[in-house]
Every structure is written in C-alpha cells, then in structure tokens.
Amino acid sequence: MADEHGYVYDLLRKIGLTDFGARTGEFLLVRPLKIVLVVVIAMIASRLAVRTIRRAIVSFKARTPLGGTNARAEQRASTLADVFASLARSAIWGVTTLVVLDILGINLAPLIAGAGIAGIAIGFGAQALVRDVISGLFVLLEDQYGVGDIVTIGDSSGTVEDITLRMTRLRGADGTVWFVPNGEVRRVGNSSMEWSRVAVDVLVAHGTDLGAAQSEVMAAAADFAGTPEWANVVLDLPEMWGVQAIEEKGVRLRLLVRTAPRQQYVVARELRSRLAERLTSAGFAGPGTDQVLVSAGALDLTSPPPPART
C-alpha cells in the first residue's frame, strides 16, 4: 500500500517519533487545519451565494413588468431570496460535511448508501410534502396571491394571513382560520390583485324617470369619487351600466366602481349610504316606499358591460 502520509509525518519520524507518534502528530496538526480551511471556504462560498442570489432576484424583479416597487413586490422578492438562499446554504454545508468526514478518515460509502436508501423511503412517504413545497414555490414565483389578498381557494375564502412553502393560511370573514396545503391549490380566485371592483344596485319604483334616476346616481357617485378622502381609493369614474333587471317590485339600476385592492367593501358601504340619501332627497322612491333601496349587486362575469357612450 502506497504511503499516504505527507511532510509532517516524515518530519516527525526524522526527529525520532515512532510511527504511532508520527501518525498521531499528523492527525492532531494537519487534519484540524484542513477542516478549518474547508469550513472557512464553505463560509465564504455561502455568503457569496446568498449575496449573488439576492442581487439576481432584485435584478429580475426590476426587469419584470409587474414587479414594480410596491411593498407587495418587495415582500415577494424578499421571500424568494430567503427560500433560494436557504437552499444554497443547505447544499454548501451538506457538501462541506461530507468533505470533513472524509478528512477525518470516515468511510463515506456505507453512509452514502444508507442515506440513499433512507432518502428513497422518505421520498415515498413524503410525496405530499414535496408536492406542497414545489407548489408553494410556484405560488411565490408566479405571484398568484400575497399576504393581505382576499382569495377563494377551493371551498375556502378569506384574507391571506401567511404563506409558507408548505401551506397557506386564510382567515374567513367570521374569523375562521383555514389552513390550505399548497399542493391542494388547483384554482385560485384573487379579488384584490392590482385592483378590485364592486357593483351597487339601486331599486326604484315602476314609473320612475329612469334617465333622471341614472343621472342622479352618476352625479352622486362622481361627487363621492371626487372627495379628497376617497380620491386615492376610487381609481376611475364610476360606470353606470343602466337597467340591470325589471322585477316585480321595481326596476334595478346598476353602478360599477373600480377601487384600490381590498377597498371594494368599504367603498360599497359608503357609496350605498350616500346614494340612498341623495336619491331620497331628490324625490325618487323605491317600490312601495319613499325610501330608495340600495344593495350590493352580484357581478355577472358572463354579461359584457354596456358600450361606452360617446
């Protein structure tokens, strides 16, 4: 067998140490230095990898049209950077551990074989977990939803409170918290991405001058949208879609408003209150009453909007 010892072993032998003493000296002097050197290199590589990943993600976000500079984009970029940085650190330190064990003279073949068998067993048992993690990564990469968004995932609806690689946590309007594994996310409805929209219905009595009623509704909505406290919440001038339905009780008029994300409900409540007061003061009546009925309208996505007036 070829001599695997180096200069330190030969030096210790020449100064009179036995083979055992020279081997021990080499083990105590050379191997710790090698281990320290490997660990230092791993630390430097880990820091460089994390810094490179963070810079790459920031650069990618800046080149993405929907990236923007808002808090949502910053949060998503930070989350992705943390995920990829963690993966890079795990890979680097995993390799470092194997190198250190090899320096210590431990036979890695049985260890790697055992780890491979254990990995296969764990892989079969953790397929759902792996699916959840991969799906969660794509949720973050594609920005399907973020913390604070109002979403519907399967049979669960609510506000997103937290997103991890494995699970999404929703809180319903009644306070119920739903934990949805990311691997089960097949279809997501996000009602607060980029902007939201709300429909407000006005029910007036039969025989009402519909043109005058619509003009009054639009005037009230325009005044509402122009107030300073609501100017940044209402994104566009409200749209009057006109007669939505003719019912036994009366004629239903529909108004649509485009709002900032997650602001559709507070806008609808305020606008319904103002419309009811404005139309009642103007002398318009509801079915069988002097009070005009204003309610939330269900958006029919299969019905196209009316043509724009010129």
Q: Are 130 and 123 in contact (CB under 8 A)?
A: yes
- Which is it for the CA torsion 111, 115, 117, 121, positive or negative? positive
- Look up the CATH number of domain 7-125: 1.10.287.1260
- Which is it for the CA torsion 218, 220, 221, 225, positive or negative? positive
Instruction: Please give the CATH topology (third level) of the domain spanning 196-297.
Output: Alpha-Beta Plaits (3.30.70)
Q: Any idea where the domains of the chain sit in the sequence?
A: 7-125, 144-190, 196-297
Record the pTM.
0.55
Cα separation, 184 vs 26, in Å, equals 56
Give, in words, the CATH class of 144-190. mainly beta
Tens digit of pLDDT at every position of the chain (310 positions)? 345 666 666 666 677 677 766 767 666 666 788 888 899 999 999 999 988 988 887 777 666 544 544 566 676 777 778 778 888 888 899 889 888 888 777 777 776 776 676 666 666 666 777 788 888 888 877 778 888 888 888 888 888 888 888 888 999 888 889 999 888 888 888 887 778 888 888 888 888 888 888 888 888 888 888 888 888 888 888 888 888 888 888 888 898 888 888 788 888 888 888 888 888 888 776 665 555 556 656 555 445 555 554 4
